[in-house]
Structure 1
Amino acid sequence: MKTGAVVVAAGLSSRMKSFKPMLKLSGSTVIKTAVSALKSAGVSPVVVVIGKNAEKLREHLSGLNVVFVYNKNYASTDMYHSACMGLKLIHRKADRVFFLPGDVPLFSRNSLFTMMGYMDYSGCSILIPAHNGKKGHPVLIKSNVIPQLVSYKGEEGLKGAIRAFAGAKDVIELPDMGLTIDADRPEDYQLLQSYAKSLALKKPVECSVKVSLHRKETFFDDKTAALLQQVARTGSLTQACYSMGISYSHGWKLIKVAESQLAFPLLDSRSGGAYGGGSNLTKEAKELLEAYHRFKQEVVYFSELNFHKFFYRYQKEAK
């Protein structure tokens, strides 16, 4: 089951004064911490809805292979409007979706895995995490109920849409305070920083796996795969590069480097005309992309399975 995410980072940060997504947090930023946590659990695609400081955020997250959606009316619309933009985009790209505001970054990877496993077992359509009885984020939503949520006409935003949803909803209690801490106000940000410092000492040793394909040189990795996915979605290399926050020349180079090491083209491009220009993936590119994703899933699964076998002695907390 493919799990994606929608992160809303389009607000004005009016209560915080400073721009919340870019606030510093344990050597990173609030938004990067949230996106990295999602990525560490294999969540893809990750859609980030941007508004204020949009170009700054595109540049800041350009290396994380996320998809950007720009809310040009961010100054006059609420978070529900931005949420709907992201949910509509991801609706057919994943079987279920984690939803969260961009200022809730300290949930754990284990919480994400637990929520996914619980939804598989229970069959619920919406799963809300909680800590000590307080509900938090991210909320896990099956994609087939997204049309109902985005058609809500009440005054309470996504919270009201979820409350009005008549299907199966569950709340799961988890031992993870990070689910309920945000950076909405200065005092909240102070708590977030304190909790991040405590997590840094408690964080166990973990492994991460990066997969890339080589011949004479590295020619295919997560960034190239994400670019091809965006071309398939948008039908345009230009739009794909824009969605990823990279320049067209950089995207073109990624494609050409890969094609130079392969025996086939990746894109079927057409010039402008009666129907306009654009690009689509070739049959071979689609097969390569599918093989890459399946191989990476197998590699990540194997590494997780064997990591504790070899590194169990290093799992004690730092003093």
Structure 2
Amino acid sequence: MPRIGAIILAAGLSRRMGEAKQFLPVNGKPLFRHAVDRAIVNGLSPVLLIGGEHVERLRQLTGDEPRVEVLVNPSYATGMASSLRTGIEAAAGRVDAALVFLADQPYVPNEVVQALIRTYEENWKRGIRIVRPVYGEAAGHPVLFDASLFGELARVAGDRGGKEVVEKYKAQTQNVPFSCARWNLDIDTPEEYRQLQQAIRHRPE
């Protein structure tokens, strides 16, 4: 069985939200904890949580979970790529692949994580090195990267994350389709957060 870790990007500046969105309460816990708990429940190891300005608060809110390693990205203001590099450098040599999660996507279910891992295991021998979910018509997260691509991921810059690596290795990428576009929802603005809270309140039991 391959060793698969998790890299959770939680160092964003939340400019459109106007406050640190990773700590907004969603279903009784901070927004970022949904990705953390998803990684833990599915046995990913290590679980690398990348923070920036609020790294100490991230540590406080994961103090109950010793499997989480909170890492500081001193260059967080330069964009997502620097946080990805921080995680990749910490994962290198410890895993065969890593799933990259966004801290502002609370709806990604176990079903997605398990399908991505299964697809990777079943298709690695035929050259698949990236596995990503497609929700309806839109590609999303988490994205699984084989460790052979870590060197290239560590060289990305700006706010594009691993997109340019995915584009470069399209032939080695396997998309996994899911019909539920809601699973790809991320929370960027106060209005999106209000809509999320309203949907939770009105969700049938």
- Structure 1 residues 196 and 106: CA distance shift in structure 2, 3 A: farther
Distance 1:145 1:105 in 2: 27
Equivalent residues of 2:35, 2:101 under 8 A apart: no
Distance 2:200 2:143 in 1: 21
The C-alpha deviation readout for 1:263-286, integer Å capped at 9, x for no partner, is xxxxxxxxxxxxxxxxxxxxxxxx
Bigger RCO (CA 8 Å, 6+ sep): 2
* 1:155 positional shift: 7.7
SS across alignment from 2:9: strand
The C-alpha deviation readout for 1:19-56, integer Å capped at 9, x for no partner, is 11100001111111111111111111110111111111
* Counterpart pick for 1:137 among 141, 146, 154: 141
The CA RMSD over aligned residues, in Å, is 2.1
- Structure 1 residues 122 and 196: CA distance shift in structure 2, 3 A: farther
* 1:97 positional shift: 0.7
Counterpart of 1:84?
85
2:70 counterpart letter in structure 1: F
Counterpart of 2:196?
192
Counterpart of 2:58?
57
Give the share of equivalent positions with the same residue, in percent: 25
**Does residue 121 of the first structure (1) align with residue 122 of the second (2)?**
yes
* Counterpart pick for 1:161 among 148, 154, 165: 165
**Worse-superposed segment, 89-98 or 172-181:** 172-181
User: Equivalences for 1:87-236 in 2 at 5 Å?
Assistant: 87-123=88-124, 124-152=128-156, 156-165=160-169, 168-196=172-200, 201=204
Equivalent residues of 2:84, 2:161 under 8 A apart: no
Counterpart of 1:14?
15
How high is the TM-score relative to the length of structure 2?
0.88
Larger C-alpha radius of gyration, 1 or 2?
1
**Worse-superposed segment, 15-24 or 114-123:** 114-123
* Higher relative helix content: 1
Counterpart of 1:237?
none
SS across alignment from 2:194: helix
The alignment of Structure 1 onto Structure 2 pairs a total of residues equal to: 200
Distance 2:18 2:141 in 1: 22
Distance 1:148 1:125 in 2: 13
Distance 1:29 1:46 in 2: 17
SS across alignment from 1:21: helix
The C-alpha deviation readout for 1:100-120, integer Å capped at 9, x for no partner, is 221112200111111111111
Distance 1:189 1:114 in 2: 28
User: Equivalences for 1:293-308 in 2 at 5 Å?
Assistant: none
Distance 2:27 2:158 in 1: 38
- Structure 1 residues 125 and 20: CA distance shift in structure 2, 3 A: same
2:54 counterpart letter in structure 1: N
Gaps spanning 5+ residues in structure 2: where? none
How high is the TM-score relative to the length of structure 1?
0.58
2:42 counterpart letter in structure 1: A
1:181 counterpart letter in structure 2: L
**Does residue 40 of the first structure (1) align with residue 23 of the second (2)?**
no
* 1:194 positional shift: 4.4
* 1:176 positional shift: 3.9
* 1:195 positional shift: 4.9
Gaps spanning 5+ residues in structure 1: where? 202-317
